[in-house]
Structure 1
Amino acid sequence: MLVVLEDVSKSYRTAEGPLTVLQGIDLSLDSGQSVALTGESGSGKSTLLHLVAGLDHPDHGRIIVDGQEIGGLDDKGRAALRRSTVGMVFQQFNLIPSLTVAANLAFHARLAGRFDAAWQQALTARLGLEQLLARYPEQLSGGQQQRVAIGRTLAARPKLVLADEPTGNLDEATGDAVMALMLSLVAETGSSLLMVTHSHRLAGQLDRRIHLRSGRIDQSVERPA
């Protein structure tokens, strides 16, 4: 198993008292598998993704990624895990505005010490970005920016890709095209994919679907592998 969550719970302090976001989550993800996380707003989807990425800490339970228990890592260790093992794709693109498309594409791979010019060239071609390499993010459409964000993540060949509503800012046609590209490239690299989405239609394109309801996994909706 590439990812294992055991009895994971998470709550936050509010003015009205503790707000429980996740309760008793048990979840596993095989290498090369794609899983969609669905659920209403506030059901805990993004929180779960952030916990797996080591961007937040569970109150209870264990999270193991690629054999490493995240709770046993310090900030430096979690940052190293994100560089070497975990890639992230966000709804807001999060490109570096001062870097060209070419430099954005290479950024994570260079940080991880895995820059491969041939693989970047292949990604650039597959994503249809050859004519855009000298441009800056502000000169791109939303769909183009998301393709750069996907290429930047996959350039480092992560074992796990975490995607939080990656097509949420795109129109349906553009989102479908970007999603098809991402799924194809994730499969080609052998990466696993854990993706948050509100779209049942997009969720149906992945191997499994796990539905969160009020911070718990709704077994009646889950679609197993």
Structure 2
Amino acid sequence: MMILSLKNIVYTHKKNNVTVLDDVTIDFSLGQVYGVLGKSGAGKTTLLALLAGLDQVSSGDILFKNHNLNAINRDHYRQQELGAIFQQYNVLSNETALTMLKLCALNSTVQGKGDPYFYEALKKVGINEKLAKQKIKKLSVANQQRVYLAQAVIKDPKIVLIDEPIESLSELSLEMVMEYIRIYAKNENKCVIISSRSKAIAEHVDELWGLNGGKLSFIKDNVEQKTF
């Protein structure tokens, strides 16, 4: 089932009048993991920001469930439908991992869930109850990144965006991160979109696309999928 659709997207920076996305068209479906490859500065983070409703296109349309993103409540869209890991974290380091996940769940469909729900989410990324009760700033960098991974899916979003996982989740193995994401996408019927400069993500995604010179081009799909 298609969840997001981009129709002839153009994005031009207002300050310098440089077009970073030029006539981009792509459909994203539930239950799939997508990879977008591109060099630094190619516009990958801009693309994810547009998908997150953090900025608006210069022309073209982004449709979520066939509704134009410009015509819906984008705050509600981000609260209810979207999970994300960007390279710049929004982290409350003085809170415990458990508390941060509860705060992230506010105004979402899982608000009010009991502690077992949040402990289980942390357990899936390798954080036990003892670590869950520690302040995030006292955790190792690897464990902090495990919390960020749990944070991205805690609201049960339809769409998860991950910007440069090899950097944003640098202390975790790419295989661990991608296995977790793939199981999540398949078992929970979610759409995951990953941007990266590294071809290492290629074997872990269902569809691989390339962003170069403002153009988004299909590279390949992985027909023989792992089963879980």
Q: Give the letter for the 2:162 counterpart.
A: A
Q: Is the 8 A contact 1:33 1:193 kept in 2?
A: yes
Q: Is the 8 A contact 1:25 1:216 kept in 2?
A: yes
Q: Give the letter for the 2:5 counterpart.
A: V
1:193 paired residue number: 192
| 1:9-57 Cα deviation digits (max 9, x unpaired) | 001134xx41111000001011111100111111111111111110000
Give distance in 1, aligned partners of 2:126 and 2:56.
38
**SS of equivalent to 1:13:** coil
> What is the correspondence of 1:31-110 to structure 2 with a 5 Å cutoff?
31-73=30-72, 77-110=73-106
Q: Is the 8 A contact 1:143 1:178 kept in 2?
A: no
1:126 paired residue number: 124
Residue 223 (str. 1) matches residue 223 (str. 2): no
User: Number of paired residues?
Assistant: 218
> What is the correspondence of 1:171-210 to structure 2 with a 5 Å cutoff?
171=170, 174-210=173-209
Q: Is the 8 A contact 1:107 1:152 kept in 2?
A: no
**Shift, 1:170, TM fit:** 4.7
Distance 1:55 1:169, change over 3 A: closer
Distance 1:143 1:174, change over 3 A: farther
Q: Is the 8 A contact 1:93 1:145 kept in 2?
A: no
2:144 paired residue number: 145
**Shift, 1:7, TM fit:** 0.3
TM score, norm. by length of structure 2: 0.87
Q: Is the 8 A contact 2:9 2:62 kept in 1?
A: yes
Distance 1:93 1:144, change over 3 A: farther
Structure 2 residue ranges without an equivalent (≥5)? 223-228
**SS of equivalent to 1:196:** strand
2:226 paired residue number: none
1:29 paired residue number: 28
Aligned-residue Cα RMSD (Å) equals 1.9
Give distance in 2, aligned partners of 1:107 and 1:187.
26
Distance 1:171 1:152, change over 3 A: closer
| 1:104-144 Cα deviation digits (max 9, x unpaired) | 12222223141333432321221121121121221122221
Distance 1:67 1:121, change over 3 A: farther
Q: Give the letter for the 1:33 counterpart.
A: Q
Distance 1:173 1:97, change over 3 A: closer
Give distance in 2, aligned partners of 1:45 and 1:39.
7
Structure 1 residue ranges without an equivalent (≥5)? none
Q: Give the letter for the 2:125 counterpart.
A: L
Q: Give the letter for the 2:14 counterpart.
A: R
Give distance in 2, aligned partners of 1:129 and 1:69.
38
- Find runs of 4+ consecutive structure 1 residues off by over 4 angstroms: 169-173
Q: Give the letter for the 1:81 counterpart.
A: Y
TM score, norm. by length of structure 1: 0.88
1:3 paired residue number: 4
Q: Is the 8 A contact 1:51 1:58 kept in 2?
A: yes
